[in-house]
C-alpha cells in the first residue's frame, strides 16, 4: 500500500516562513512527478507547485518568487519552502504524486496539512 504523508504545517505570522514535507512510502518503482495543491474555504482546489522526475518545476503565479519546490530522491520526499507568507496563503495543502506501481503510473494524494496565516 502506497502512502503520502505531509508534515510541517502550522500557524505562522505574515512575512514568516514555513517548510512542508511530503514523504512517499510503500511499494512503487519510481516517482514520475510530485505536486502541491491547496484549498481554502469557498475556493476551488488549485495547483501551487510541481516538479517532474527530470527536475522541471512549475509554480502558480501567486507564489512565484516566494515558494520553492524541491525533491530528495534518496528519501522519496518532496519539499515546499514557503517564504513571505500572506493571509491569502491560508489553506489545507495537499501532496500529490504520480508513482509507477508495477507497470502503470497512478496518482496518489496525501491527507493534507493546514497552513494558517492570520491577517
Q: Give the model confidence (pLDDT) of 5-28 as tens digits.
A: 999 999 999 999 999 999 999 999
Question: In this predicted structure, what is the pLDDT of residue 69?
Answer: 98
- What pLDDT score does 82 carry? 98
Query: What is the mean pLDDT for each group of 10 consecutive residues in the chain (119 residues)?
Result: 94 98 94 96 95 94 98 93 97 96 92 97
What is the DSSP secondary-structure string of 13-82? Answer: -TT--EEEEEEEESS-SEEEEEEEEEE-TTS--EEEEEEETT--EEE-TTTTTTEEEEEEGGGTEEEEEE
Counting residues of the chain whose pLDDT is more than 70, the rounded percentage is 100
Question: 9 by DSSP, 3-state: which?
Answer: coil
Q: What percent of the chain has pLDDT over 90?
A: 91
Amino acid at each position: 500500500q502506497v502512502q503520502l504523508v505531509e508534515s510541517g504545517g502550522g500557524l505562522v505570522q505574515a512575512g514568516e516562513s514555513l517548510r512542508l514535507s511530503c514523504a512517499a512510502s510503500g511499494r512503487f518503482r519510481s516517482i514520475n512527478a510530485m505536486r502541491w495543491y491547496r484549498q481554502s474555504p469557498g475556493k476551488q482546489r488549485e495547483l501551487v507547485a510541481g516538479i517532474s522526475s527530470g527536475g522541471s518545476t512549475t509554480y502558480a503565479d501567486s507564489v512565484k518568487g516566494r515558494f520553492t519546490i524541491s525533491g530528495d530522491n534518496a528519501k522519496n520526499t518532496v519539499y515546499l519552502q514557503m517564504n513571505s507568507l500572506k493571509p491569502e496563503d491560508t489553506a489545507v495543502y495537499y501532496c500529490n504524486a504520480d508513482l509507477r506501481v508495477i507497470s502503470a503510473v497512478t496518482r496518489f494524494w496525501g491527507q493534507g496539512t493546514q497552513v494558517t496565516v492570520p491577517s
